[in-house]
Amino acid sequence: NTMLSWQRTSFHFQPEKNWMNDPNGPMYYKGWYHFFYQYNPNGAVWGDIVWGHAVSRDMIHWLHLPLAMVADQWYDSNGVWTGSATILPDGQVIMLYTGSTNETVQVQNLAYPADLNDPLLVDWIKYPANPVLVPPPGILPKDFRDPTTAWLTSEGKWRITIGSKINKTGVALVYDTVDFKTYERKEDLLDAVPGTGMWECVDFFPVSMKSENGLDTSVNGEEVKHVMKVSLDDDRHDYYSLGNYDEKKVKFTADDLKNDVGIGLRYDYGIFYASKTFYDQKKDRRVLWGWIGESDSEYADVAKGWASVQSIPRIVKLDKKTGSNLLQWPVAEVESLRLKSDEFKNLKVKPGSVVSLDIDTATQLDILAEFEIEKEALEKTAHSNVEYECSNSGGASKRGALGPFGLYVLADGALSEYTPVYFYVVKGSDGKLKTSFCSDQSRSSLANDVHKQIYGSVVPVLEGEKLSLRILVDHSIVESFAQGGRTCITSRVYPTRAIYGAARLFLFNNAIETNVTASLKVWQMNSAFIRPYHPDQKS
Ligand code: DQQ
């Protein structure tokens, strides 16, 4: 359907057609990044799930390979569901995944490459004695899924965790194994948080407190914090928590119980779910993939013949300045798509004004921007004891003393459609500033069968820091990062007029009491090659 073809993205990973959901088993192997994903080969809605597979040299340009695994066994005939890869020290590759059986029981299965000498890992073998794990006593048959990458214990065993729930408490079950075929259940739960419901796609990994590099999943010790991430089936968001992992007690404890996993910090305050990290041994970093669904109607998805994209892979690391959150930032490889750029220095944006930025086209952009509020305005402005919350504070058109201000992306010239990405600063009753970072979809499309929420959250801003943001725009996706990736928001938007050459970019300032000074660099972004692999082609 060419009618909706402008919504297709140009540098985000997508299959050629049909439905995609969770990232599965990401890894780097013999020169190639491997990406598997939940895929419906038969339509643009969830169902008939198998594993799609693609490979890349740089996680930006992709070659689609044949399906890696299909639903051809009793133990996965209702779906080859989410799983994770573990690369063993001797070079073996282990894939553990959830199968929904012929009786829709969730079980864990083992698979491995047919030929470890094939860097593309095209063929996969399912272990003949699958399943390797069935729901343990006390766990319901449909509450046992999404095994993690394994990490080593000091005894030299491999440990994994699997999400579940007990009544309304989300839990992470733990198993040790030496051969990935037989497992020993640990009675302790790695973590459990009452009221959070089913935990999908648990991810558990170390981050360094000292180095900027990522850590292999088995690293532990003094200079390490652990990250626990869960995808809450009840509210469809990915939550993480920083804390301490006690190997002997088989227990993760959040540093800050207010931010316990499932109730505190989110990876992303827009659409971003079922995410998974892997350790990239090529570049010594930890990379995060996230599934970005649609916010249009299922009818529209069927009409356009596809649904969902994947985030640009993000580097995740500990924010050493705050110590209390992660930083997420698009992998540097995406910068290879940058074409010509326009720079704007120290533009003064007056209260209540909109400034058009003269750039070529505005459907594929990488934007870096910095904003400053006037010092005098900060001093003069009155204290407030109302908490600002992006999602229910009236969006980008509701004016306050020190916000909102930021950018309109995917806007048309008449501003009949535009998506504001902005900061909103409030001076608290204690005199301290509190900054929110938001993305407002309420005017992003004239279509009425799309969600029009306002997303966002607070973002820590430290003494002496300017407000800074980065935005990746790609037709129907807007990925926004504030303060180096402390707070991230991904939106799907469906403009009907702000498309192709009609799309524009604007600065805006809806603060009442301050001018805002903005400096920006805006790159046009090339499209990535994402196409089927033909064995005879050169890569
Ligand atoms: N998607 C998979 C499940 C997982 C869910 C099925 C999360 O394994 O729990 O497609 O989106």
202 lines ligand 1 (CB under 6 A): no
Distance 80 CA to ligand 1 centre (A): 10
Tell me, what's the ipTM? 0.99
The residue from 22, 146, 296, 366 that is catalytic is 22
Distance 18 CA to ligand 1 centre (A): 17
Report how far residue 368's alpha carbon sits from residue 521's, in angstroms, rounded to the nearest whole number: 5
Q: What are 149-199's pLDDT values in tens digits?
A: 999 999 999 999 999 999 999 999 999 999 999 999 999 999 999 999 999
Is cis: bond before 495, omega within 30 of 0?
no
pLDDT value of residue 1: 42
- Residue 143 CA, distance from chain mean position: 23
Tokens linked to 304: 């356009």
CB 313 within 8 A of CB 290: no
Phi, psi for residue 194 in degrees, rounded to 5:
-55, 145
76 lines ligand 1 (CB under 6 A): no
Q: What are 501-532's pLDDT values in tens digits?
A: 999 999 999 999 999 999 999 999 999 999 99
Report how far residue 160's alpha carbon sits from residue 177's, in angstroms, rounded to the nearest whole number: 8
- Residue 237 CA, distance from chain mean position: 10
84 lines ligand 1 (CB under 6 A): no
Q: What are 64-93's pLDDT values in tens digits?
A: 999 999 999 999 999 999 999 999 999 999
- Which pLDDT band, with edges at 50, 70 and 90, does 538 fall under? low
The DSSP 8-state label assigned to residue 324 in this structure reads: S
96 lines ligand 1 (CB under 6 A): no
* DSSP per residue, 266-321: ES-SSS-EEEEEEEETTTTEEEEEEEE---S-HHHHHHHTEE-EEPPPEEEEE-TT
444 lines ligand 1 (CB under 6 A): no
* DSSP per residue, 325-372: SEEEEE-GGGGGGEEEEEEEEEEEE-TTEEEEE--S--SEEEEEEEEE
Average pLDDT over all residues of the chain: 96
Report how far residue 211's alpha carbon sits from residue 224's, in angstroms, rounded to the nearest whole number: 10
The DSSP 8-state label assigned to residue 413 in this structure reads: T
Distance 140 CA to ligand 1 centre (A): 16
Amino acid present at 170? G
Ligand 1 test: best mutation among 18, 24, 201, most atoms within 8 Å of CB? 201
- Which pLDDT band, with edges at 50, 70 and 90, does 384 fall under? confident
- Residue 243 CA, distance from chain mean position: 20
146 lines ligand 1 (CB under 6 A): yes
Atom of ligand 1 nearest to the CA of 163: 9
Ligand 1 test: best mutation among 76, 145, 235, most atoms within 8 Å of CB? 145
The sign of the CA dihedral 191, 197, 200, 203 is negative
Catalytic residue flag (residue 176): no
Domains, in order of start, for the chain: 2-330 (2.115.10.20), 338-525 (2.60.120.560)
Ligand 1 test: best mutation among 22, 24, 40, 275, most atoms within 8 Å of CB? 22
Q: What are 308-344's pLDDT values in tens digits?
A: 999 999 999 999 999 999 999 999 999 999 999 999 9
Closest Cα to atom 7 of ligand 1: 274
CB 316 within 8 A of CB 26: no
- Which pLDDT band, with edges at 50, 70 and 90, does 537 fall under? low
Q: What are 425-457's pLDDT values in tens digits?
A: 999 989 999 999 999 999 999 999 999 999 999
Tell if the pTM clears 0.95, that is, is over it. Answer: yes
Tokens linked to 498: 């702000």
280 lines ligand 1 (CB under 6 A): no
Distance 98 CA to ligand 1 centre (A): 9
pLDDT value of residue 387: 87
Distance 250 CA to ligand 1 centre (A): 25
Distance 83 CA to ligand 1 centre (A): 9
161 lines ligand 1 (CB under 6 A): no
200 lines ligand 1 (CB under 6 A): yes
